[in-house]
Amino acid sequence: MSVALSRNRRSLALAAWLIAGSAAIGSAQMPDVRTMSGVPRPVEDLPAGTVSVRVVRGSLADVAAGIPVELSVAGTPQVLRTDAQGRAEFKDVAPGKIVQVSAVLDGVRLAAEEFQMPSTGGVRLLLAGAPGAASAGGASGAPAATASPGTIVLGGDSRIVMQFEDDELEVFYLLDIVNGGSAPVKADPLVFELPPEAQGAALLEGSTRQATAEGRRVTVAGPFAPGRTSLQIAYWLPPGRGRVRIAQRFPAALSQVTVIVQQAGALTVLSPAIREQRQVSQEGRVFLMGTGPGLAAGETVVVDLDGVPHRARWPAVLALSLAVLALLAGGVAAARSFAGGAQAERERLAVRREQLLGDVQALDAQARAGRIDSRRHAARRDALMTELEAVYEALGADAGGPDDEARRAG
C-alpha cells in the first residue's frame, strides 16, 4: 500500500487509523498534565545543576511562552521567562539545596513541590494551568484580519509515524501548529522540504486549508489562528537495502520529538534526537516509540532505521542466472544436435560414394568382358557419374573428384 492518495484509496483509512492510533499511543505515554503539574522529576539527560521548567495551558500542546518563572534557593529568587517552547531553564543550582519553583499564569499562581537538588543530573518540572483562550481557538479556521507578529511552535502532540507495507516505508508527519497566544499570529509561511527520496507526497484529510503540497515541498501560509492548526503530511520511500535514513528540517520550534515506528523483524531505530525508547502496542501491532527534548526552529531530526524489511535480491538474480544458463544450454544442445546431424549426413554421403564407385567399377568390368553393349554402358555410366558428382559436391572439395575416384576404381 502506498500513502500517495492517488495510488491507493486505503491510504485515507490508514491515515485515519494512524492519527487516532498514535494519539492513543501518545496518551498512553502522557497522562493528564494536571496530574504531573508541580511534581519534580530527576533526570540524567540534563547537565548537573540544571532545572528545566515547562509551563502549559491545559495540555502539552498549548505551551505558554513569555511567562515569568521564579526559582528560589535559600530565599534567593531568580526569574526567567519561558521561551517559544514554554520552557525556562535554570543552571548551576548547587546540589543539596532546597529549591522552590512557581509561576503566575493567567492570574493564577502555579507552585511546584519543594525538592532537594540532586548531586548528579538535573530536574524537570511541568507547571500546568487551566485551558485558556489559547486552547479554545479553532484548528484551521480563518484567522482574523487583525493578525499581529508573534511566535508559533509545533506542539507536543506532533509526531513522526512510520509503518511498512510490502517493501515500502510509509512516513507520516502528524503536526500541531500551535499559537499559544490569544490573537492571530502573522508569520512567514512554514516550508517543509521533504527528503530527496520521498515519493507521492500528499496532504491528508483534516489538514488545514492553508497548506499546499507541490512535489517534495509542503507550504503552510499564515496568519495562524489562536490554538492548534492541524497539518498531516504523508509520503513513501521505495524499497531499500536494509538501512534507511530520514532527515527532516522543521521550520518552527518542535516542543518535543516523538518518533513512532512499526516494529518489524530485527528493526532498530537510532536518532540523536531520541533520549528514551520503548515498545507500545496499538490495534494488535507493535511499535517502537522514541521521544526526546524539543528542538529550535530550523533544526533537523535525523532518524536511522537499521534492519528495514526488504526482499532479498539474490532470488531474482539467481532466477535470471538460471534462465541465462538454460538459454545457453539450449543453444549448446542445438549446436550439438546440428553438428551431430551434419556428421551423420556426411557419413551417409560417404557410404553412398563408395556404393556409386563400386557400381562404376562393376559397369566398366562388364563392358570389358563384352557383357554390355557400348550404348547401354555409356548411358549407365553417365547416370552414375552425375550422381557421384552431386555426392562429392555435398562432401566438399577436400573429398577429391568423381573422375579421379572413378579412374582409380577402374
The pLDDT tens digits of the residues spanning 38-86 come to: 889 898 889 999 999 999 887 777 888 999 999 999 888 999 999 988 9
10-14+148-306 and 33-131: identical CATH topology: yes
Q: Tell me the whole-structure pTM to 2 decimals.
A: 0.50
pLDDT in tens, 230-242: 899 999 887 766 7
Contacts of 248 (CB under 8 A, 6+ apart): 160, 173, 192, 194, 195, 300, 301
Class of domain 10-14+148-306: mainly beta
pLDDT at 107: 78
Distances (CA, A) of 360 to 83, 252, 351, 354, 400: 119, 108, 14, 10, 16
Could you say which DSSP state residue 121 is in?
Answer: S
143-155: pLDDT as tens digits: 333 455 678 889 8
Task: State the cell numbers at 132.
Answer: 485558556
| Res 32: pLDDT | 56
* Residues of the chain above pLDDT 90, percent: 31
d(CA 45, CA 273) in angstroms, rounded, equals 12
Kindly report, residue by residue over 167-180, the tens digit of the pLDDT. Answer: 678 999 999 898 87
- By percentage, how much of the chain surpasses pLDDT 70? 74
Q: What was the pLDDT predicted at 338?
A: 58
Residue 206's SS3 state is: coil
Work out the average pLDDT over 31-42: 76
Fold assignment, 33-131 = Immunoglobulin-like (2.60.40)
Determine the Cα–Cα distance for residues 97 and 107; give it in Å rounded to an integer. 29
Note the pLDDT of residue 7: 47
Task: Count other C-beta atoms under 10 Å from residue 399's C-beta.
Answer: 16
Check pLDDT > 80 for residue 218. Answer: yes
Q: In which band, very low, low, confident or very high, does the pLDDT at 28 lie, cut at 50, 70 and 90?
A: very low
Q: Where are the beta strands (DSSP E) in 20-121?
A: 41-43, 51-57, 68-73, 76-81, 87-90, 98-105, 108-111, 115-116
Q: What is the pLDDT of residue 376?
A: 79
Pinpoint the alpha helices (H) of 310-373: 314-368
Which residues sit opposite 108 in a β-bridge?
Answer: 105
Q: Where are the domains of the chain?
A: 10-14+148-306, 33-131, 314-409
- Across the chain, what does the average pLDDT equal? 79
Mean pLDDT across 304-329: 62
